[in-house]
Structure 1
Amino acid sequence: MRATGLLLLVAHLLVVGWLTLRPRTVPWVPAPNVEPLASISAELAHGPWHAVQSLGGQVLLLAPLGVLLPMAAGRLHVSPLVSLARTVFAGAMIALAIELLQAGVPGQVADVDSVLLNTLGVALAHLVVVPGARYRLRRREERLRDATPKISRVGVAPQADVLFGSRTYL
């Protein structure tokens, strides 16, 4: 499971990098947004449907990381709160790295709200999928462990005197 998770994680990050870090040819570029929630409130001012369309993509962009990061770690027996905190922190750092790299790409604009929305997507995906999947995998592991036949314990072999080359049994 770890290998599959790691492979899917790398593939997803490559696709995200290609989508977000390629240069765009545009006639003008707006100023970077460094004020939290400014672009979110501007999108909400245009109406709820417009906001869902424009902000939903940012929420969904890194949402698979909420599942792929724990899958790549491969831990079944971990606290749900610790797992959520680790995953959200890693997702936030990846979103921040993407935004910082976008500052140097022509036609791309850094936006602090993208980091917030991407992190929200990671947290939501983790909360929706990971606890239930871990529960099912733990139950499956317990069922398989209980189904394994037990081998009765073998007694201790008789002791031999190996120093003198003779076979004396006690």
Structure 2
Amino acid sequence: MQRQGSIGGSAAIRLRATGVVLLVAHLVFVAWVTLRPRDVPWVMPTNLHPFAGIRADLRLGWPEAARRIGEGLALLAPLGVLLPLVHGRLRVSPAASLIRTVAAGALLSLGIELLQTGVPGQVADVDSLLLNTAGVALAHAAVVPAARVWLRRRSERRVRAAVPEEASQGRTPRIPRVGIAP
């Protein structure tokens, strides 16, 4: 049985399956980037003060600050698109979708930061959590609503093309009047 508001047909199954494959590939890449041990002579202390690392990055100057902040935003940003793609619903509240996706991205980022405490050379940073979550939110807000509108219009055009005009209206059924039984 199909959920109400979800994409129907074999194209939807292929689209969702592609989303699952891309999501798994992205998560493997993120795990490789963030959880592999690094051989460094010394490690910065853990940053538990929000925006302290971002302020320090901004003091480095324009190109270096943009690179570091951009990396933080871009690391989990694809989740903002891939998670709704895997979910596969076209008719859903935009606010609920954004909240669900951002919450999932924040929890995944928190899990990564907690796992990094046990990896040599990797340090937990609250600013990474904030930037990763903001990247998920920005990607979702930039792509998902427009993609859902496009897919809804496309599916409505296909339905209208498949059903002739008079068949969509249908005839009014006539029910014969039945008298009261004696």
TM-score (norm 1): 0.87
* Residue 140 (structure 2) aligned to one of 115, 118, 126: 126
Distance in 2 between residues matched to 1:104 and 1:51, nearest whole Å: 27
Give 1:146's aligned residue.
Answer: 160
Give 2:130's aligned residue.
Answer: 116
- The answer to whether the aligner puts 1:65 opposite 2:85 as a matched pair is no
Distance in 1 between residues matched to 2:68 and 2:22, nearest whole Å: 26
Displacement of 1:128? 0.6
- The answer to whether the aligner puts 1:47 opposite 2:69 as a matched pair is no
Distance in 1 between residues matched to 2:29 and 2:56, nearest whole Å: 28
Give 1:28's aligned residue.
Answer: 42
Distance in 2 between residues matched to 1:46 and 1:11, nearest whole Å: 33
Q: Gaps (5+ residues) in structure 1?
A: 154-170
Q: How many residues align?
A: 154
The amino acid of 1:103's aligned partner reads T
Distance in 1 between residues matched to 2:91 and 2:138, nearest whole Å: 21
Distance in 2 between residues matched to 1:7 and 1:73, nearest whole Å: 13
Q: Secondary structure at the match of 2:139?
A: helix
The amino acid of 1:141's aligned partner reads S
Displacement of 1:121? 0.5
Distance in 2 between residues matched to 1:149 and 1:135, nearest whole Å: 21
Displacement of 1:145? 0.7
Residues 17-52 of structure 1: CA deviation (Å, up to 9, x unaligned): 011100000001111000110000011112232210
Bigger drift between 44-53 and 14-23 goes to 44-53
The alignment yields a C-alpha RMSD, in angstroms, of 1.5
Displacement of 1:2? 1.3
Q: Gaps (5+ residues) in structure 2?
A: 1-14, 172-182
Distance in 2 between residues matched to 1:46 and 1:33, nearest whole Å: 17
Give 1:99's aligned residue.
Answer: 113
Distance in 2 between residues matched to 1:72 and 1:149, nearest whole Å: 29
TM-score (norm 2): 0.81
- The answer to whether the aligner puts 1:11 opposite 2:20 as a matched pair is no
Percent identity (aligned): 61
